[in-house]
Structure 1
Amino acid sequence: MNDTLYTSFLLVAAVFLALGFLIMTFRILVGPNSLDRMIGLDGFIAMLQCALAVYICWTLDTTIANAMLVIALLGFISSISVARFRKRDGN
Structure 2
Amino acid sequence: MTIVGIICSAILAVAGILCLYRIVRGPSMLDRTVASDVFVASIIGAVGVHAAVGRYSTTVSVLLALSLVGFLGSVSIARFAARDGDGSPHLEDGEHR
Instruction: Please indicate, yes or no, whether the TM-score normalized by the shorter chain is above 0.5.
Output: yes
CA RMSD for the aligned pairs? 1.5
Q: Which residue of 2 aligns with 1:79?
A: 74
Structure 1 runs, 4 residues or longer, greater than 3 Å off: none
User: How many Å apart are 1:72 and its aligned residue?
Assistant: 0.5
1:17 paired with 2:25, answer: no
May I ask how many residue pairs the two structures share in their alignment?
83
For the pair shown, which has the larger CA radius of gyration, 1 or 2?
Answer: 2
RCO higher in structure (CA 8 A, sep ≥6): 1
Give percent identity, aligned residues only: 30
After superposition, give the CA deviation of every residue in 1:38-71 in whole Å (9 maximum; x if it has no partner): 0001100111111011001111011111011011
C-alpha separation in 2, matches of 1:54 and 1:39: 22
TM-score, normalised on structure 2?
0.80
C-alpha separation in 1, matches of 2:40 and 2:62: 12
Unpaired segments of 5 or more residues in structure 1?
1-5
